[in-house]
Amino acid sequence: MQQLLKIIERIDRKGYKAYNDLKGAYHFPDFILHLDHIQADPFASPSRGRVIVKRERLALGAETDETNERRVAVIDFFAQELQEVIKKQKEIKGIFIDGPGQEVMDRTAVVLREDELDIRFSIQLPARGRTILGKPAKQLLTEHLPAVIDQAVKNYSPEKLKTHIALADDQTTIRRFLQENHYTAFIANGSVLPRESGVSSRPLKSSDVVPFRSPPSLEVEIPLPHYGPIKGMALKTGVTVIVGGGYHGKSTLLEAIERGVYNHRSGDGREYVITDDSACKVRAEDGRSTASVNISPFISNLPNGKDTSTFSTENASGSTSQAANIMESLEAGTTCLLIDEDTSATNFMIRDARMQALVAKEQEPITPFIDKVSSLFNEHGVSTILVVGGAGDYFEVADCVVMMEAYVPYDVTEKAKEIARTFGSGREGNKNALFGKITERSVDLRSFQARKGKKEKVSAKGKDMILFGRDAINVSGVEQLVNGSQANAIANMIRYVCGVYDKNAALSDILHFLDEQVSEKGLDEVSPFKGRHPGDMAMPRKYEVAAAMNRHRALRVDNPS
C-alpha cells in the first residue's frame, strides 16, 4: 500500500497515461488489490481491478459452497452487498461493480474459490482534462475502496448470508419436487407477482396488491428444509391455458412463471415462484432471419414451392418467426413452452370455422398451433403454458384451465370443458395429427467473425443487442434474457467456441461443450481477460445462447439430412 501511495505522489499532475504505472498488486491490511487494466484516457472505458480477500478472514466454511446453488447464492450476496454500499455512500464516486438485479445467477463480479473471495470492479481514475489528480486518486484507492470492502465484505452479516443460502436450498428443493412429480411450475401462496412498472423488475408495493392464492384443486404442499411446509399452485405437465379479462393478471402470472426459470432474492415477491428451468418463452418476431429451420410441423406446401423443412429467410413474418422460435427452442432441448396470445401471430395460433369455410384447407399452408399442441406433448413430452384472451377453442385441447379474476386464480377446467362440449367451435381440428420431426442442425461457426480490424471485438449493448465483430445480433425478442451481463457472456461464449471448433458442429454439441466448460472451469473461462478482470458477465441459459446464435443474420447452417 505504501508503494501505491508513492506512485500516486510521483505521477500527480502528469499526463493521464502515467496512471499506467499503477498496474500491479498491492497488499492492504485486509486484502490484496490488483490493478489489471488502466484506461488510456479519462474518456475511455474505466480501469479494472480486483480485490482478493482470504476466506479465513471471512469465516466462509465449506458449507457455503458445498452445492453449486449455495456457491451462486454466496456470489450474489456479496455482489449485492457491494452494490448497495457503493450506492448508499454518496461521497464514493468512481467505483462500480456489476451487481445483480432481482434474479440470482452466477456472475463474474465475485468469484468464490477454495481459499479466497475474488471481487472484480471498475474504477474511474480522477483527472482534470487529461491531467492526473493525485489527491482524489489517493483518496479513491486507499480510503474509499477499503471502506467499501470493510462495510460490504469484512463486516458482512453472517445471519443475513445464512438466510440467503437457506433460500437457495429451499428453491432447489422445489425444483427437484417439480421434476420428480411432473409439474411445470409452482407459485407459492402469498407471492407478489405485479411489478413496480413495465421497465422495473422490483415488486409493486401498494395496499392494492393482491397476494397470490392457489385454487384448492391445484394446491400442493412441499416440505422445505428451512422454510418448512409451503403451499401454492402447481401446474401439471401437459397443456395449461390461462384465461381472464383484460387487466385481471393473465400476463402478470405468465411473466412470473417466465422468470421462474431463475431463482429470486428474498423480498422480490417471486422467490417461491419456480418454473421448469428449461421453459422457453416464444413469440412472433417479425423481421428476424432464420437459417435452415425445419418449420414443416407448422408450415408446408407454400405456393412458391419453397421447402419448409430447411426454411431460411432474411425477413420472417409473424407466423414463420413464431414457428421458427418454437422449433429452435425444441432443438435446444426445452420441455416447456410459454406463450402469450398478445405477442403471438393470430394466424399461427388459431384458424376458426369461418376462415376454414372461406379459405380451403389446400390453400392454407399454416397448421395452427392449436392442432399441434397436444401431439407436441404426447410425442415429445413438451408442455405448454398459454395465455389466451379471445381464443376459446383452446378449451378443447387444454388439460387445465386457470382463470384470473382481479388477480385471483380459479380452476375452471371443468366449466371450460363443458362450454367446449355445449357450444363447440365448428372448426375442423386434427387432434390426432402427428407433430412431426424436430430436426437438429449443424452450425458453420466460420459465419461468426469476431474480428473488427486487427482485434477481436465482442460485447453487449444492453440486453437487447450483441455486437460481434462488424455484426450486430438483435436479441430484443429473447424475453428471458434479463440483463446486459448475460448478453455479454453470450457474446464471449460464441467467441470462445469459435476458437475451439474451426468449422461445423451440431448446435446441441456446441451448447453441451459450453455447459461442460463453464461448469468445470467457471464463467471466467470464456472471457478474453481470463484470470485478470472479466467482471461483467452473468450466466445465461443454453436456450438464450442458442437464440442469439440463431438470430445472427450471417449464420450459415448445413442443410439437415
CB 404 within 8 A of CB 240: no
CB 73 within 8 A of CB 169: no
To which H or E segment does residue 289 belong?
none
For the chain, count helices (H), then strands (E): 15, 32
Query: Based on the domain organization, do 434 and 447 belong to the same domain?
Result: no
DSSP-H helix ranges across 289-427: 318-332, 346-349, 353-358, 373-380, 413-423
The separation between CA 96 and the C-alpha centre of its own chain, rounded to angstroms, equals: 22
Which segments within 189-244 are labelled E, that is strand?
Answer: 195-197, 200-203, 219-224, 228-236, 239-244
The reply to whether 186 falls in a domain is no
Query: Based on the domain organization, do 144 and 248 belong to the same domain?
Result: no
C-alpha–C-alpha distance, residues 361 and 346, integer Å: 17
- Name residues whose C-beta falls within 8 Å of residue 231's C-beta, 6 or more positions apart in sequence: 188, 189, 214, 219, 220, 221, 222
> What does residue 82 show for φ and ψ, rounded to 5 degrees?
-65, -45
Query: Based on the domain organization, do 231 and 376 belong to the same domain?
Result: yes
The reply to whether 188 falls in a domain is no
Local structure of residue 150 (DSSP, 8 states): I
Reduced to 3 states (helix: H, G, I; strand: E, B; else coil), residue 81 is helix
Q: Which among 489, 485, 460, 457 is positioned nearest to 475, based on CA atoms?
A: 460
Query: Based on the domain organization, do 433 and 481 belong to the same domain?
Result: no
C-alpha–C-alpha distance, residues 420 and 429, integer Å: 13
Query: Based on the domain organization, do 388 and 459 belong to the same domain?
Result: no
Local structure of residue 279 (DSSP, 8 states): -
C-alpha–C-alpha distance, residues 77 and 105, integer Å: 10
> What does residue 306 show for φ and ψ, rounded to 5 degrees?
-65, 135
Q: Which domain holds residue 447?
A: 442-558
C-alpha–C-alpha distance, residues 400 and 86, integer Å: 47
DSSP-H helix ranges across 109-221: 134-139, 145-149, 158-180
The reply to whether 187 falls in a domain is no
The reply to whether 497 falls in a domain is yes
Query: Based on the domain organization, do 301 and 317 belong to the same domain?
Result: yes
- Name residues whose C-beta falls within 8 Å of residue 414's C-beta, 6 or more positions apart in sequence: none
Local structure of residue 540 (DSSP, 8 states): P
CB 294 within 8 A of CB 308: yes
Which of the listed residues 389, 421, 439 is the one where a domain comes to its end?
Answer: 439
Which of the listed residues 392, 414, 439 is the one where a domain comes to its end?
Answer: 439
C-alpha–C-alpha distance, residues 194 and 475, integer Å: 25
CB 38 within 8 A of CB 23: yes
CATH number where 241 lies? 3.40.50
The reply to whether 182 falls in a domain is no
Domains: count for the chain: 3
C-alpha–C-alpha distance, residues 435 and 455, integer Å: 46
Query: Based on the domain organization, do 32 and 55 belong to the same domain?
Result: yes
Query: Based on the domain organization, do 465 and 422 belong to the same domain?
Result: no
Query: Based on the domain organization, do 377 and 489 belong to the same domain?
Result: no
What are the Cα distances from residue 155, in Å, to 131, 132, 161, 164?
Answer: 36, 33, 12, 16
Query: Based on the domain organization, do 284 and 301 belong to the same domain?
Result: yes
Which of the listed residues 156, 183, 207 is the one where a domain comes to its end?
Answer: 156
CB 212 within 8 A of CB 235: no
Query: Based on the domain organization, do 432 and 449 belong to the same domain?
Result: no
The reply to whether 62 falls in a domain is yes
The reply to whether 26 falls in a domain is yes
pLDDT in tens, the chain (561 residues): 899 999 999 999 999 999 999 999 999 999 999 999 999 999 998 999 999 999 999 999 999 999 999 999 999 999 999 999 999 987 888 999 999 999 999 999 999 999 999 999 999 999 999 999 999 999 999 999 999 999 999 999 999 999 999 999 999 999 999 999 999 999 999 999 999 888 888 999 888 899 999 999 999 999 999 999 999 999 999 999 999 999 999 999 999 999 999 999 999 999 999 999 999 999 999 999 999 999 999 999 888 888 899 999 999 999 999 999 999 999 999 999 999 999 999 999 998 888 888 988 888 899 999 999 999 999 999 999 999 998 899 999 999 999 999 999 999 999 999 999 998 877 887 666 799 999 999 999 999 999 988 888 999 999 999 999 999 999 999 999 999 999 999 999 999 999 988 778 999 999 999 999 999 999 999 998 866 677 899 999 999 999 999 999 999 998 655
Query: Based on the domain organization, do 331 and 455 belong to the same domain?
Result: no
The reply to whether 169 falls in a domain is no
